[in-house]
A and B are shown apart, each in its own frame.
Chain A
Amino acid sequence: MKRIFALVLVAVVGILLFSGIYSMEGFPRYGEAEVSERVSMSYIDKNVTRENQEVVFGVSENLETGSANIVTSIIVNYRSFDTLGEVTVLFVSALGVSLLFGSFEGRLRSRYKPNFILRTGSKVVFPLILVMGAYIFIHGHLSPGGGFPGGSMIASAILLMYLADEDFRVRIDDFKKTEGIAGAMYVLLGLVGLMISNYFLSNFLDTGTVGTLFSAGIIPVVYVLVGLKVGSELTGIITDFLKGEVE
């Protein structure tokens, strides 16, 4: 009876949501939005201050932001201050976790011993995941992904090693130093932008040609810094979580 009631409740809420959203004026169906009439068009054309002009991959030069990935051009260029806030949120949560667990020593041990295939296989996969993570945050301005997924991929590689090897430990002090330096560099980069072009985190480098690796000004620099910061921060959180009770 309870389950049927829950099912009916879910169905009613779902129908209300969908019918409400789709009957709304100004909320077009999926894939039918007219982008050219909206503000987003100037973000897609990478021209907020000038007239709209078409952007051609691999040809257009010296745009406002030279990132081929539109999402990246918004979150690391136009809304870079938001990203700084996001990174700060993650930093505060990592700080909270390490304040809670920092005094614990030793490591939580699982009851199950990792078997041979897991132990050997993880050693093969570990460097590949690290390289993939670095690839994702270095190419954040060209392909999908960026600093946050790349950093979490690095952290998940380290979590895999923790799962596979009972005696595996990272030197957490080095990770904490990396995190601090990367975060400070991000703020410093913003201050340099403030000095050169009068607003915080402005893209003061040459943006180059759309679609090449060395393009988009400070976007790759910021994404490498964010990737390193997120990776070392999540590694710190994982290491703190796996600290066991003192025996």
Chain B
Amino acid sequence: MNSLMVLEIMVALLLILLSLLAIFSKKLITAIIYLSIVSMLAVLSFALMKAPDVAITEAVIGSGLVTAVFLFTLFSMRKEGEKE
């Protein structure tokens, strides 16, 4: 078992842990940030599995565009009954 394999297993465990945290977090903003970290770790795991093309696409779409769109939606939402 070399050091690269240890890194792969650590990334996989962190992916599972952070996905669970993203599901069970109470505040939406923390869930979005956890989701962004999950995307970043997915980029790392794609790079470890020697798929740099997929990694670049995931980095741009997963942790860039999707997170920004989620954040903008969250900031634009109003609570029920709240005025401008």
- A: residues with CB less than 8 A from B are 30, 69, 71, 108-112, 136, 144-146, 148-149, 152-153, 155-156, 159-160, 162-163, 234, 238, 241-242
Given known contacts A155-B65, A156-B65, is B56 in contact with A144 (CB within 8 Å)?
yes
Q: Name the contact of A149 in the complex, choosing from B49, B56, B71 (C-beta under 8 A).
A: B56
Is A153's CB under 8 angstroms from B60's CB? yes
Chain B residue with the shortest CB-CB distance to A31: B50
* Closest chain A residue to B58, Cβ basis: A149
Quote the shortest CB–CB distance from A96 to chain B (angstroms).
Answer: 17
A146 engages B64 (CB within 8 Å): no
User: From residue 12 to 59 of chain B, which have CB atoms closer than 8 A to chain A?
Assistant: 49, 52-53, 55-57, 59
Q: Which 10 A-B pairs have the closest CB atoms?
A: A144-B52, A110-B75, A156-B64, A145-B56, A149-B56, A152-B60, A71-B53, A149-B57, A144-B53, A149-B60
Chain B residues whose CB sits within 8 angstroms of the CB of A69 once the complex forms: 53
For residue B61, CB closer than 8 A to chain A, the reply is yes
A-B contact pairs, 7 of them (CB 8 A): A30-B49, A69-B53, A108-B72, A149-B56, A149-B61, A155-B65, A163-B71
Q: Which of B56, B68, B69 contacts A136 (CB 8 A)?
A: B56
Chain A residues positioned under 8 Å from B71 (CB to CB): 163
B69 touches A241 (CB 8 A): yes
Give the residues in chain B near A242, CB-CB below 8 Å: 72
* Residue tally, chain B, CB below 8 Å to A: 18
B64 touches A111 (CB 8 A): no
Chain B interface main SS type: helix
Query: B13 CB to closest chain A CB, in angstroms?
Result: 14
Is there an interface contact between B65 and A234, defined as CB atoms closer than 8 Å?
Answer: yes
Shortest distance from the beta carbon of B68 to any chain A beta carbon, whole Å: 5
How far in angstroms is the closest Cβ of chain B from A101? 14
Contacts of A162 in B (CB 8 A): 72
- A156 B76 Cβ-Cβ under 8 A: no
A15 to B56, CA, bound (A): 29
The residue that A144 contacts in the complex, of B55, B61, B64, with Cβ under 8 A, is B55
B57 nearest CB neighbor, chain A only: A149
6 new A-B contacts, CB < 8 A, other than A152-B60, A152-B61, A159-B65, are A110-B72, A110-B75, A111-B78, A136-B56, A144-B55, A152-B64
A136 to B55, CA, bound (A): 13
Task: Mark contacts of B2-18 with chain A using CB atoms, 8 A cut-off: 1 yes-contact digit, 0 otherwise.
Answer: 00000000000000000
Question: A110 and B53 in contact (CB under 8 A), knowing A149-B60, A152-B61, A152-B65?
Answer: no
Known: A136-B56, A144-B55, A241-B69. A153 touches B76 (CB 8 A): no
CB of A164 to closest CB in B, whole Å: 11
Is B57 touching A163 in the complex (CB atoms < 8 A)? Answer: no
Provide the residues of chain B in CB contact with A144, threshold 8 Å: 52-53, 55-56
Question: How far is A241 from B76 in the complex, measured between Cα atoms in Å?
Answer: 12
Tell me the minimal C-beta distance from A201 to chain B in angstroms: 20
Q: Is the CB of A110 within 8 A of B56?
A: no
